[in-house]
Amino acid sequence: MVEYKRVLLKLSGEALMGDKQFGIEPKRLQAYAEEIRQVVNLGVQLAIVIGGGNIYRGLQADDTGIERVQGDHMGMLATIINGMALQSALEQKGIYTRLVSAIEMNKICEPYIRRRAVRHLEKKRVIIFCGGTGNPYFTTDTAAALRANEIRAEVVLKGTRVDGIYSADPEKDPNAIKYKTVSYNEVYDKDLKVMDLTAITLCKENNLPIIVFDMNTQGNLVKVLRGENIGTTVTT
């Protein structure tokens, strides 16, 4: 039994690096593919939004002298590379997938059409949304919130390397306090680093809960979907 039937999973590009400083670590990619395979076997309709920070972040543009809009488009292309890698790993495990991009690239992936995406989910195909929103100045967090609302997902699952939301960075502050639940308003008021504020606002306005959990611990994704008390839930 699972708590949610249709979900959107947000994965950061940095998570794919594993212990590397750049690019994609094969063991991490395979581990994520196996976690996703278990979810598919439970009958959950799954869409994924993946970042590109392991290859290029648009916010790096200021440091390199690249114009912000140009840098953001470079970041979008990085998410397509990650999406292709994840698609390949999933298909090796016999999972039917569709790579769907906000930027048209017909020889590599499908253009985003909402009704077609929903139909893929109904046919038990895993959708990998890439290319962000297709617009500069918007993060992949915002893309995740937007797509989740468009496909009527029941929850946004943000898989990170930390086991929830803390009052401060737990990797830097040993006194950081972990929250079991927080409200959208608390995210604003306490400046909690969950997702960017545009994404939080999209979820708040549509009453879409967010669960932040440690994706790197084996079995956690299935536990979240079964309703176990894993990570931190953001809700009203």
What is the structure's pLDDT at 28? 93
Position 1 in a domain: no
For the chain, which residues score pLDDT lower than 50? none
In whole angstroms, what is the distance from residue 130 CA to residue 90 CA?
15
Query: Do 19 and 59 touch, CB atoms closer than 8 A?
Result: no
User: Contact 15/24 with Cβ under 8 angstroms?
Assistant: no
What is the tens place of the pLDDT at every residue in 103-151?
Answer: 999 999 999 999 999 999 999 999 999 999 999 999 999 999 999 999 9
Decide if 77 contacts 36 (C-beta within 8 A).
no
CATH classification at residue 102: 3.40.1160.10
The domain total for the chain is 1
* 187 in any annotated domain: yes
| pLDDT the model gives residue 11 | 95
Structural domain boundaries, residue 140:
6-235
Instruction: Give a yes or no: residue 203 inside a domain.
Output: yes
Whole-angstrom Cα distance, residue 16 to residue 23? 7
183 φ/ψ angles, rounded to the nearest 5 degrees: -90, 165
* pLDDT given for residue 199 in this prediction: 96
Strand pairing report for 165-166 and 178-179: antiparallel
